[in-house]
Every structure is written in structure tokens, then in C-alpha cells.
């Protein structure tokens, strides 16, 4: 029926969220910041690409609580324990060392903070993802859960959650973990 879309549901649920100080690892052009920054005390977009960070800066020029940082997810340029929420949405596809990237995200989480990961599950579609410069061919939930645990986090959830409706039918893994 009219108005009953995933976007409507998601935007409604977001109204219940208070994210505190947020880091978006592999932020791209800031689309997540655009969606969530009103529910954050401070929102930091981090990406390896200066051009992409500039695009985020343009997109979010009118948002006073959004900051921008060029940086590597394997060596985050932040002190320990400074973020309440860290997002790694599809960042691990670009990681040469996903365990290190997860450990770095855990390092910058404040006590009680939460890390949220979304990535594609293991697949055999190298030609399809080559156009996007993916470094690896997806993951398995137990791998991600192990990296979260090894980083000292308490794993709240880690599982395949969805499957695309169109070929090649990529599957999505989501995970969340908390700083102890």
C-alpha cells in the first residue's frame, strides 16, 4: 500500500536512534552521513580517496556536525576510544587485511560503543566485482564473528541477512558488536 516501503520503515526506525559520536569507515560520498547525521552528536566520514571525501564534503556542506578525513581503515588516524558508533558498510570488500581493519575499528570505539558491519558473503563472481575494485570475494559469518571477538568486542549478531533478487544474487552479511 502507499507509503509502506523499506525506505519509509527505515526512516521511521531511525527516529528512535541516538548515535553519539560516529565514524563511517569507507564512507564514500557521505550517503550514510546524510541519512544519520541528525541523530549523531558528531559524524565523521573517512575514506581513502581524497576525491570521494571531497564529494562527501560537497554533499554535506550544510551539515555542521559532519567532519571529513582522508585515511586508511587499516591505520585509523584517531585516538583510542573516541567514537560511540562505528560503521563499516561494505568497507571490508576493499580491505587487504580485514582482521586489521576490524581491530582498528574496535580500537577507536568508546566503552559501550557499537561497531556495525555489512558486507557481501563469499561468492564466485570475480568478474562482476572487478569493476568496483573489490580486493576479495566476500566473507563467511564465522570469519567476521571471529575478527570481532579477536578485536575484544562482544558479538551481538553476525549472520547472512538478505539475498539480492537479481543475478548474481549476492548475499548480505550484517554484524554488530559492542565494546566491553
Tens of pLDDT, residues 137-162:
899 999 999 999 999 999 999 999 99
Q: What is the tally of structural domains in the chain? A: 1
pLDDT averaged over the chain? 94
Position 48 scores a pLDDT of: 97
Would residue 134 count as lying in a domain? yes
Task: Provide mean pLDDT across the span 123-148.
Answer: 87
- Spatial distance between the Cα atoms of 143 and 22, rounded to a whole number of angstroms: 25
pTM of the model: 0.93
Is the per-residue pLDDT at 88 higher than 80? Answer: yes
Backbone angles phi, psi at 127, to 5 degrees: -65, -35
Position 8 scores a pLDDT of: 87
What residues does 85 pair with on adjacent strands?
22, 114
Would residue 30 count as lying in a domain? yes
Q: What is the CATH number of the domain that holds 107?
A: 3.40.50.150
Domain span including residue 155: 18-179
Q: Band the pLDDT of 1: cuts 50, 70, 90.
A: low
Amino acid at each position: 500500500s502507499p507509503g509502506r516501503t523499506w525506505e519509509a520503515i527505515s526512516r521511521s526506525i531511525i527516529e528512535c536512534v541516538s548515535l553519539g559520536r560516529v565514524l563511517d569507515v569507507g564512507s564514500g560520498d557521505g550517503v550514510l552521513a546524510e541519512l544519520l547525521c541528525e541523530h549523531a552528536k558528531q559524524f565523521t566520514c573517512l575514506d581513502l580517496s581524497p576525491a570521494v571525501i571531497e564529494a562527501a564534503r560537497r554533499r554535506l556542506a550544510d551539515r555542521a556536525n559532519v567532519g571529513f578525513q582522508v585515511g586508511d581503515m587499516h591505520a585509523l588516524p584517531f585516538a583510542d576510544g573516541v567514537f560511540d558508533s562505528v560503521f563499516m558498510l561494505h568497507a571490508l570488500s576493499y580491505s587487504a587485511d580485514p582482521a586489521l581493519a576490524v581491530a582498528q575499528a574496535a580500537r577507536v570505539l568508546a566503552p559501550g560503543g557499537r561497531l556495525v558491519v555489512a558486507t557481501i558473503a563469499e561468492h564466485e563472481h570475480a568478474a562482476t566485482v572487478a569493476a568496483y575494485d573489490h580486493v576479495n570475494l566476500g566473507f563467511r559469518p564465522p570469519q567476521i564473528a571471529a575478527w570481532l571477538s579477536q578485536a575484544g568486542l562482544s558479538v551481538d549478531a553476525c549472520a547472512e541477512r538478505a539475498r539480492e533478487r537479481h543475478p548474481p544474487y549476492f548475499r548480505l552479511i550484517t554484524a554488530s558488536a559492542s565494546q566491553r
